[in-house]
Amino acid sequence: MSATILVVEDEADIMLTIRLTLRAEGYEVMGVTSGEAALEIFADCPPDVTVLDVALPGIDGLEVVRRLRKDAKHRNARIIITSAHASGHVRLLTDALGCEYLTKPFSTKELAATVAAALSHREDAEETARDPSALNDPLSARAAP
C-alpha cells in the first residue's frame, strides 16, 4: 500500500507540479487549496506526509501546524513546509514546530527526496515510540491517542 501525501497549495500549477511529481514517485496524492480544508482531511483521514504552503488564503500554513500539534493524534505528523519567503523567522518557526522545510522554487527531485526522508523518519519514530502492546499493529501508533 503506497503512502498517502496531502498537498496544501493555493497556486494551481505549483499544486500540479507537486502532485504529478509525487504520483510519479508512486504516492497517493490528495490536494487541497486552503488550511481549513487541510484540517478537515486530518480529521477524516490523516495523510502519511503533508506538503504545506505557508502562504494560504484564510488560516496560513504555520497556523495549520500549530493546531495539529495541539492535537495528540497529530503531534508527530510529518509535515514539509514550503515557502517563498526564505526569511529566518519562518525557518525558525518551522524548526520549532518540528517540520521539514523547502524553499520555493524547489526542484522536484529535492521534493521527492524530502518526502521520502519524511516517510522513513516517520517509520523510525514509530519504531522508537512503539508500544510493545502494539507491536503487531504497525498502524496503531498512527491511530493511538
Partner 1 sequence: MTAGPAIAPREPAAAGNPLDDVDIADELAVFAKVVAHDFSGPLQSVRGFGNILLDTLGGRIDEQERGYLGEMVVAAERMQALNDSLTSWVRARNAALEVREVSLDLIVAECIEAFRSSAVERGAVISASPLPAVHADATAIGRVLHHLVDNALRYTRADRSPVIHVETAMRGTDPAFVVRDNGPGIAEGNRERAFGLFKRLESNRDGGSTGVGLTISRTIIERHGGRLWLEAAPDGGLEAIFTLPAFSGMASGAAVGSSPVRMDESTERRQRQRRAALATIVELSDEAIFSKDLSGHIITWNRAAETLYGFSAAEAEGQHISMLMAPDRLHELPELMSRVRLGERTHLETVRLRKDGTQFDVALTVSPIRDPQGDLVGASVIARDVTERHQAEGDLRAIFDVAPDAIVVISRDGAIHAVNSQTENAFGYRADELIGQPVEMLLPERFRAEHIARLMAFTTDPKLRPMGTDHELFGLRRDGVEFPVDIQVSTVPTKDGRLPVAVIRDVTERRRLEHLRDDFVANAAHELRTPLTTLAGLGETLSRSFDVMERADIEEAFAAMARQGERARVLIANLLDLSNIEGGRTDFAIVNVELLPLVERVLEAAPPPDDKAVAIAVPSGIAVRADPDRLAQVVTNLLVNAYRYGGQQIRIHAPQEGSQVVLAVTDDGAGIERDLVPKLFEPFTRGKAASVVRGSGIGLALCRRIVEGMDGQIRYEQIVPRGSSFRVSLRRAT
Cell of 22: 509525487
26 vs 88, beta carbon nearer partner 1:
26
Residue 104 interacts with partner 1 (CB under 8 A)?
yes
Contact segment (CB under 8 A) with partner 1 among 35-43, 73-81, 101-109, 121-129 equals: 101-109
Q: Pick from 20, 125, 129, 143: which binds partner 1 (CB under 8 A)?
A: 20
Residue 17 interacts with partner 1 (CB under 8 A)?
yes
Q: Is the sign of the CA dihedral 122, 143, 16, 34 positive or negative?
A: negative
Contact segment (CB under 8 A) with partner 1 among 12-20, 72-80, 89-97, 135-143 equals: 12-20
Q: Pick from 7, 8, 23, 134: which binds partner 1 (CB under 8 A)?
A: 23
Residue 60 interacts with partner 1 (CB under 8 A)?
no
Cell of 49: 506526509
Nearest-10 Cα torsion for 27, 76, 15, 84: -140
| Distances in whole angstroms, Cα of residue 140 to Cα of each of 57, 93, 121, 124 | 34, 29, 17, 15
- Secondary structure tally for the chain: helices H, strands E: 6, 5
Relative orientation angle of helices 88-96 and 61-70, to the nearest 10 degrees: 20
59 vs 97, beta carbon nearer partner 1:
59
Q: Pick from 1, 13, 44, 70: which binds partner 1 (CB under 8 A)?
A: 13
Is 47:6 a contact under the CB 8 Å cutoff?
yes
Residue 57 interacts with partner 1 (CB under 8 A)?
yes
Q: Which residues bind partner 1 (CB under 8 A)?
A: 10-14, 16-18, 20-21, 23-26, 57, 84, 104-109, 111
